[in-house]
A and B are shown apart, each in its own frame.
Chain A
């Protein structure tokens, strides 16, 4: 395959994330309309599409553009962030009231948290498992299950239950973000070891 070089630190490096984020939104909403999926099936469909995007991004960008695994997965996470933002905007158009602002504290952690779990799982599948407690496949499956459960809470519970669930959700999102940064930093340190010839405690 012909190699093309797009540096992750360049402006062109952001383009794949922008394009794939909006494509993901179009595919998910179009697919849900087309197949008429609702409820748990819709959650599964969304997560499957997100996992597919992250996996394909990792394979393409690290395979042909020379990105590291985490740089490629980071690009996929950017795309998911754009997907979540586009969904929020669509929601604001459909329901133009202040509740959509509150919804951000729920939908962004939900989408990005699940995507981070999937990304960590995919990174584990592609390389060594490291110190991860969960097997990679389990991480991906748990991301899908979490989305279904939280959707069920959002659909059937009262506002109070939802607000109560928002705190552990957001805290888990923060922990996942820290885990993600930790993995990305380890990855970067591995590169650093080559540069300096120094040792790390990894």
Chain B
């Protein structure tokens, strides 16, 4: 000891003090190791995320999965990062390596490297006989190491142990900034994708709300009338009103014949739109009601409408509802000599009831909204509420608004609402037939 400590050392600068070069050496040893382990931890974390994304990419590319499943797998990959964060595996490895630092042997090596006569701790000269094995040197190292560890550990773990002080604040601020960035980017990209989505035009949500006062519908169950009437929501216009609207506004000659006929015209007019927001030509309505010559219609849906109309006798709407099962439709298809492939049937609409009624496949009217309609109707009946967790209701309301926003872009608001009512009705029939 005496050989190491000199007489001229300043107060507070001996072994164990913060100015002690031995102690500073130990602290720097730990600091370097801590930095190394932190970087290693981050690298492992990035590798984990990268690995997950490679697996997600392989799964999406290698298997012919439906688009929904691909999205779900991608989302799963995006949300598993905390698995690494909370894993005891990397943390214990890092801490293990930290604990494996042996300051004694490191200091011994340090002392060995200092030639005799050179200044060591506190500026004193290292005596020739003060090798690493000398009791004085060991005592010095031991003291310095203990002091350094007690002093340096808070330095290394300050951000973890005291997150609200000193370096911990910087750590928290950095994480908060990252979190805000994540939220902002999620909001931005989410909004972008939402706007770009063909069937869900969120930018029109406010307009739709203003038009329909849809907030009053939020959270309500929109169920169809068991008697195949319109949904019970007061916001939906009655069939009579709708029929008169269409009979008057479309100006079709046949539509003027009466309210019931006018309603048919409205449904047929929607069928011809194919979801591309193309205003229904006036002659489409006329053609739909007059037996489907298809005059003046150039698009495929109009041709299908004419095809569906031809050769089949008309039934009333209610009649078609009551026998509107798929099986019935198949036999009628064969009798009418129409294409009976599944694809053709799907194009003509999922509900054979409407199809057979000569309404030219009314459910085909809004194919891009159909999936959304299906989800909303299903959710409104409480079938998926439990499966999808806490956010369900808010998301459902958003979806409802988005759908209404999309509907508002149709040339006729009433037509859009009528499509929704038709959808609900034919769905009700389908479910009834299934029972």
Out of B82, B89, B95, name the residue touching A108 (CB < 8 Å). Answer: B82
Q: How far is the CA of A21 from the CA of B375 in the complex (A)?
A: 27
Q: Are A78 and B179 in contact (CB under 8 A)?
A: no
What is the minimal beta-carbon distance from A195 to any residue of chain B, in angstroms?
5
What is the minimal beta-carbon distance from B358 to any residue of chain A, in angstroms?
34
Interface size class, chain A? 35 or more
Contact with A along B383-426 (1 / 0, CB 8 A): 01111111111110011000000000000000000000000000
Measured CB to CB, the nearest residue on chain B to A77 is B86
Q: Are B82 and A98 in contact (CB under 8 A)?
A: no
Out of B69, B180, B386, B398, name the residue touching A36 (CB < 8 Å). Answer: B386
Q: Are B89 and A9 in contact (CB under 8 A)?
A: yes
Q: Is B295 part of the binding interface, using a Cβ–Cβ cutoff of 8 Å?
A: no
Q: In A44-86, which residues have CB < 8 Å from any B CB?
A: 46, 67, 70-71, 74-75, 77-78, 81-82, 84-86
Out of B99, B194, B392, name the residue touching A99 (CB < 8 Å). Answer: B194
Q: In A168-202, which residues have CB < 8 Å from any B CB?
A: 170-171, 173-175, 177-182, 184-186, 188-189, 191-192, 195-201
Q: Are A151 and B390 in contact (CB under 8 A)?
A: yes
Q: Is A1 part of the binding interface, using a Cβ–Cβ cutoff of 8 Å?
A: no
Q: Are A42 and B175 in contact (CB under 8 A)?
A: no
Q: Is A112 part of the binding interface, using a Cβ–Cβ cutoff of 8 Å?
A: yes
Q: How far is the CA of A108 from the CA of B98 in the complex (A)?
A: 31
Q: Are B75 and A171 in contact (CB under 8 A)?
A: no
Q: What is the predominant secondary structure among interface residues of chain A facing chain B? A: helix
The residues of A that contact B398 with a CB separation of less than 8 Å are: 99, 159
Contact with B along A126-153 (1 / 0, CB 8 A): 0000000000000000000001001100
Q: How far is the CA of A107 from the CA of B13 in the complex (A)?
A: 53
The residues of A that contact B172 with a CB separation of less than 8 Å are: 174-175, 178
Q: Are B194 and A85 in contact (CB under 8 A)?
A: no
Q: How far is the CA of A10 from the CA of B68 in the complex (A)?
A: 34
Q: Are A106 and B391 in contact (CB under 8 A)?
A: yes
Q: Are A101 and B189 in contact (CB under 8 A)?
A: yes
The residues of B that contact A38 with a CB separation of less than 8 Å are: 385-386
Out of B76, B91, B176, B219, name the residue touching A88 (CB < 8 Å). Answer: B76
Measured CB to CB, the nearest residue on chain B to A181 is B160
The residues of B that contact A9 with a CB separation of less than 8 Å are: 88-89, 92-93, 96
Q: Is A124 part of the binding interface, using a Cβ–Cβ cutoff of 8 Å?
A: no
Q: With a 10 A CB-CB cut-off, give which of A75, A77, A81, A199 has the most chain B CB atoms.
A: A81
Q: Is B338 part of the binding interface, using a Cβ–Cβ cutoff of 8 Å?
A: no
Q: Is B168 part of the binding interface, using a Cβ–Cβ cutoff of 8 Å?
A: yes
Q: How far is the CA of A106 from the CA of B180 in the complex (A)?
A: 12
Q: How far is the CA of A38 from the CA of B387 in the complex (A)?
A: 11
Q: Are B182 and A105 in contact (CB under 8 A)?
A: yes
Measured CB to CB, the nearest residue on chain B to A179 is B163
Q: Is A103 part of the binding interface, using a Cβ–Cβ cutoff of 8 Å?
A: yes
Q: Are B69 and A93 in contact (CB under 8 A)?
A: yes
What is the minimal beta-carbon distance from B136 to any residue of chain A, in angstroms?
20
Q: How far is the CA of A195 from the CA of B387 in the complex (A)?
A: 49
Q: How far is the CA of A117 from the CA of B72 in the complex (A)?
A: 28
The residues of B that contact A32 with a CB separation of less than 8 Å are: 386-387
Q: In B175-209, which residues have CB < 8 Å from any A CB?
A: 175-176, 179-180, 182-183, 186-187, 189-194, 197, 200
11 contacts between A and B (CB under 8 A): A13-B88, A70-B88, A71-B92, A74-B88, A85-B83, A87-B388, A90-B388, A92-B71, A97-B193, A105-B182, A163-B187
Sorted from nearest, which 10 A-B pairs have the closest CB atoms?
A98-B193, A178-B163, A81-B82, A102-B190, A77-B86, A71-B88, A32-B386, A8-B88, A155-B393, A198-B149
- Listed in ascending order, the chain A residues whose CB lies under 8 Å from chain B are 8-10, 13-14, 17, 29, 32-33, 36-38, 42-43, 46, 67, 70-71, 74-75, 77-78, 81-82, 84-108, 110, 112, 147, 150-151, 154-157, 159, 162-163, 166-167, 170-171, 173-175, 177-182, 184-186, 188-189, 191-192, 195-201
